[in-house]
A and B are shown apart, each in its own frame.
Chain A
């Protein structure tokens, strides 16, 4: 027996007791993630009668205008959501970090929307953003002579209105994460910068953002994945239809329509094909994000090592 094999056996003998602990999440991952994924792959290649039809469902899917609209809506709302959520969360986190008193109170205020059910939030926002002239926002607009807006009912602004609702509901999580990140930045850095004559903008760009980099990457990655799976908020507003005029139709809602809806023709094959496509879209975007952030991390690391070697 070679030395490597002996080493391996010795390692296993020494550490075998830990493997059962790993078994539980492993079994869970296989049962609840991999098996359904495999089943979805299989279903995507069958028709309603269970007959194998190859990639026919994918062909139908990519020729379905509704699916293309769903992808565009998902990407647009995702990009808008991330571009607004993270900067606002950063601003609020900074404000929270600087106030001398009441931090806990504000933390509760920011986190409270997260614990409210999305259905309740949708009802509240439907009331506030009612398309009627007596709606809350429309009433305030009328005081300035502005005509009532459709908000959720207007295809030209329904997506943006949903984003406002989504940000209100979800920003608390990012605020708390970024706040926690800000707390780890030593105050000496800011003191030293002040002595050197740095202004607030310079402190933010040269100290805060670099030190907060890892937290920002985490927030960015998780936000990207989350917005690509947008469903609850659009369903709570528009029901199964994604109206007005399919502007609130996201990929998950499209899948829901095909697979779970009682009002539409149930087509498990098409729904499964759409699920697989979404899986690859999320995987692709996550990989791109990861590579880009890792590349930067590695270049910084290499740069640091070169400086050490000088």
Chain B
């Protein structure tokens, strides 16, 4: 009897739990999970909830441990957006940086966000709606407005181009609000100790190699071991943009079966630029710390004990910007940022653009569109973003008047760099993943430059054939 009673109670608890879970967080009617009603008859007036999933946006103030700068939490962003759009109740969902793609996807697909954040993601087509539908019925923001408002790189990487979804080529998923600008650096003090002239503001690969060769060994002043450079195994493909090793792709249809192999792939086998770039990497690695293949050896970068002359790892240079904002002269006087090399094509670096976009399952897409527009174009909002949430990025707008970040010389120079020297290509995965596979062996001396070139070509052909198989072409 006791056992049956226990069993009945357990079954009841399970059933109740399932009912409660199933009925909870029902945003279509009644109360939402935040306790704010979505209906127009809510206690707090006409506000409707708009949930924004944003990368690395903390709800609370954070203090950068390196520079000591306090960055405001998302509450400030929320307040400003609600001021700009009185009918919206803004809720931010922080997406942590690690494995952010999965977290963003899960958040969006589970219906937890009306607006999402992304960079150059192939899967944007699955997460967001084509914003041309909004532009078609919004007289204040048409497709023509989109073309006029944003700089070429921002526009280009907002229009969708990928071999996986050829039917969606040309779609606009969201609006861009900032662009990343990577840079490399050198240690001025180290170069002075070695008696080596600093590189130019935009050095050539030859210049960098020469400096690295002259600053490797026992430092003549301190007697400590120095290394001429540091480079990361991954991300080398983007350094190669400035070496003219890629042919920018332009295809309106994005049909991989129509990719001109001779123009976009076979050129590699004859390209001197490709050979020179691989040779540069092979030569440069000799002047790097022995731990670079396991991403070690740069621990002292930006510290008084630094032993690396030229830093080509752009992830390490990003930290510099916080010192710059904090006015930390100890660092900024010694470590000098310079632009990535460019070749005859006049382009360099990774064309990273950050977007906000209305999700495919947004509860109120029209209101969400209004929020997206505000984030991407309102100067007050952008000023807040650049001050607290994206301090090291540069604007995506053509008209930067009123943007405080542009008062800073460094930011302005980087904006100009992205305006003039960004790589514009319809797809880069067909060469990016193949060349990434080459670097592992190249960095440990398993490949010569010629072998690396051959391997890259083989990898590209394989990638393209596999993609064709997957797409049934």
Task: Give A residues with C-beta under 8 Å from B.
Answer: 16-21, 23-24, 47-49, 51, 53, 56-57, 59-60, 63, 66, 126, 130-134, 148, 150, 152-155, 158, 237-246, 259-260, 262-266, 269
- The 6 A-B residue pairs whose C-beta atoms are closest, nearest first, are A17-B7, A244-B293, A131-B290, A131-B291, A47-B470, A152-B294
B164: contacting residue among A49, A60, A63, A246, CB under 8 A: A49
Q: What are 12 pairs between A and B in contact, CB < 8 Å?
A: A20-B11, A47-B164, A53-B469, A56-B469, A152-B296, A153-B293, A153-B294, A155-B293, A237-B294, A243-B233, A262-B101, A265-B122
Q: Do residues A56 and B470 form an inter-chain contact, with CB atoms below 8 A?
A: yes
| Contact assessment for B294 and A244 in the assembled complex, using a CB-CB cutoff below 8 Å | yes
Cβ-based interface call for B209 (8 A): no
CB <8 Å contact, A130 and B469: no
Q: Which residues of A contact B234 (CB under 8 A)?
A: 239-241, 263
Could you tell me if A153 and B292 are in contact, using CB atoms closer than 8 angstroms?
A: yes
Q: A47-B470, A48-B122, A53-B470 are in contact. Are A155 and B444 (CB under 8 A)?
A: yes
**Interface residue total, chain B, C-beta cutoff 8 A:** 44
Please tell me if the beta carbons of B297 and A131 are within 8 angstroms of each other in the complex: yes
Known: A17-B7, A153-B292. A266 touches B225 (CB 8 A): no
- Closest Cβ neighbor of B163 among chain A residues: A48
Once the chains bind, are A245 and B444 in contact (CB under 8 Å)? yes
- B123 nearest CB across to chain A (Å): 7
Taking A47-B470, A260-B101 as contacts, is the C-beta distance between A244 and B443 under 8 angstroms? yes
| Stretch with Cβ within 8 A of A (4 or more), from B38-46, B371-379, B431-439 | B431-439
Interface positions of B from 256 to 314, Cβ below 8 Å from A: 289-297
- Chain A residues with CB below 8 A from B235, complex form: 263
Q: Which chain A positions have C-beta within 8 A of B4? A: 17
Residue B294 contacts which of A51, A57, A60, A158 (CB distance < 8 angstroms)?
A158
Q: Measured between C-beta atoms, what is the minimum distance from A234 to chain B in Å?
A: 10
Q: Please, which residues of chain A bring their CB within 8 A of the CB of B165?
A: 48-49
Q: Give the nearest-CB partner of B295 in chain A.
A: A239
Give residues 340-365 of B contacting A (CB, 8 Å).
none
Chain B residue numbers with a CB within 8 Å of A20 are 7, 10-11, 14
Chain A residue nearest in CB terms to B4: A17
Per the bound structure, the CA–CA distance linking A21 and B122 in Å amounts to: 45
Determine how close the nearest CB of chain A comes to the CB of B463; give it in whole angstroms: 8
**CA–CA, A259 and B204, complex, Å:** 37
* A59-B469 CB under 8 A given contacts A131-B289, A155-B444, A246-B440: yes
Known: A20-B11, A131-B290, A262-B101. A245 touches B441 (CB 8 A): yes
A148/B7 contact (C-beta < 8 A), A23-B14, A265-B432 known: no
Kindly list chain B residues whose C-beta atoms are within 8 Å of the C-beta of A245.
Answer: 293, 440-441, 443-444, 446
- With a cutoff of 8 Å between Cβ atoms, the chain A residues found around residue B386 in the complex are none
User: Is residue B471 within 8 Å, beta carbon to beta carbon, of the partner chain?
Assistant: yes
Cα distance, A130 to B432, chains bound together (Å): 30
Q: Is B222 an interface residue (CB 8 A)?
A: no
Determine if B444 and A17 form an interchain contact, defined as CB atoms under 8 angstroms apart: no
Chain A residues near B471: list those with CB within 8 A: 47, 49, 51
Of the listed residues A19, A238, A241, the one surrounded by the most CB atoms of chain B closer than 10 A to its CB is: A241
A48-B164, A131-B297, A266-B122 known; A243-B290 Cβ under 8 A = no
The distance in angstroms between the C-alpha atoms of A16 and B292, with both chains bound, is: 63
A262 CA / B101 CA spacing, docked (Å): 7
B291 touches A153 (CB 8 A): yes
Residues of B close to A259: CB separation below 8 A: 102
**Complexed CA–CA distance, A51 and B471 (Å):** 8
